[in-house]
Structure 1
Amino acid sequence: MRIILINEIIELIMKNKFVNSVSWVTCTSLAHADLPLSLEELLTDKGKLKLESSISYVNTERSQMQFANPIYVQTSATNFVAVPTAINETDSNSDIVVGTVGLRYGLTDKTDIYGNTNYLWRSDRQFNDSGSLKKRNNNLSDFSLGVSHTFMQDGKNPALIGFLETLVYEKSQDKKSFGKSWVVGATTYKAIDPVVLSLTATYRHNLKKNIDGNSYKSGNYFMLNPSISFAANDKISLTGGVQWLNAQADTQNGKKLSARNTSTYAHAGIGYGITKDTALNASVRWKASGQSTSELKLGLTYNF
């Protein structure tokens, strides 16, 4: 019965030209086939060390006086890299690549500690009546530390996992800052074999920074991410869902640099457990509303 269902799903996917065109990157991995990738990233066995690595590619296009809100590149199930932008009086197109390396350690059966670092490569192309302009830059974007705790395991009631993390180091607008951003959130999920339903809520609070003598504050944001995962077998799982992001405006010396920004994303993926300890994953994420962006992500996790 499961084989027939899988064949029907594959046939449906092949008929959809859009999904077929990106199917080679639409994946999220599972070391355990009963959990979607976003949850697998939050769980580590006691005394085990897990390596998490990924590379994300983002393309964004803007034209004529469009917002000054940052571009949010998702680097994990719970966090984003905020890439600053400015109000544009030109047509522009940007390519952004973010490389992420992280380690997670299981302190107890219910508590993990983790750290992540992100490196950013960026290429901007702009055009106006005066001609075209190209800019490139790369830098270490940030380094974060966090802790997650399982308050309730999946059983009669859905599981509940809470997390707290801070950006120990961040480089934004060519200026360094330390401990100026905090993230708090929770994930709940329910496994109904072979499907897992989950919901993640995240709030990021940014503190003021001093940039060239000015008081600058990145906008706080709130994110909701409901998703569904289907375990095709003990090695492969498919996932999909939506994200809603509500980001406040950045401010400088108390003055808003743009309007509050809300946007909706859709995401889909597939993951493959290469071995018991190694999993390969890839995913695609695109804007359903708001700023025009698309994101491709390829990741690898390994349990020591």
Structure 2
Amino acid sequence: MTTLKRVDVHVEGVVQGVGFRPFVHALARRLGLAGRVHNDVNGVHIEVEGALAGVEEFLTALERDAPALSEIERVTVVSARPTGHNGFTIAAGLPSGPLRPLVRADGATCDDCLRELADPADRRHGYPFINCANCGPRFTIVRGVPYDRPLTTMAGFGMCQACAAEYHDPGNRRHHAQPTCCPACGPRLRLRDARGTELCGDPVAGAVTLLRAGRVVAVKGLGGFHLAVPAADERAAALLRGRKHREEQPFAVMAADLAQARRLCEIDEHAAELLTGRARPIVLLPRLPGAPVAASV
């Protein structure tokens, strides 16, 4: 006779917005366990039951095989009475309790999404808001916790049938990825002038034209604004510095890739690792003599 065991597990740390619930769902199903998982205001709560050996393997793998973006601080396990529950589900988050939000910082676009972005045959070809469970906006879109779509800036964008199918598919990398969207159902680009009037034509091409003309372009994303000028244009950089009243603090320079960055700065192994990591942080680097970057930057 199989010995059944049930446990309530609470996981604290950076475990929201990192694909933790889909990971738990897949792990439980692989081990033939029943129960459910949901976010709460300070982590992830799991109820799991099944064969004793399966539950013990689940608890071991929970920390050993956790998603790469997660950072587990504490796992609390409490034994409970088996209920005979069937199946394992991802439930809606519970918004009550003391707040201790630890939502992952935004992640740079992953290689899988970049391949889709560049593929003319893909339905997200050229779509600037592309993301999945492994990358994209997290902290900047949060309006509250737990980290579920209704509590993010994506709440107003209902998923189309194709996106919803990906979202609910345990085998898809967008399984329960809260910012999931596409050109049919997600945010879209528009280009407006300084008076707010929408301009005709392709917004990206129009923005490029304005930048090349030395204009300041404010790029509004899901989580805020990015002010942009050509880094080599002294007049444009000085104009932006004056408008922001930023007398000394340097501006960040964006580079398309590591090869382009190496033409501007000295980059050692550690800096290269940071520049190409998941976070793509701003990194302070020694400027190369003659680098095409304006003095006002």
Shorter chain as normaliser: what TM range? under 0.3
| Larger CA Rg, structure 1 vs 2 | 2
> Higher helix share goes to which structure?
2
Normalised to the residue count of structure 2, the TM-score between the two structures is 0.24
When normalised by structure 1's length, the TM-score is 0.24
Bigger strand fraction: 1
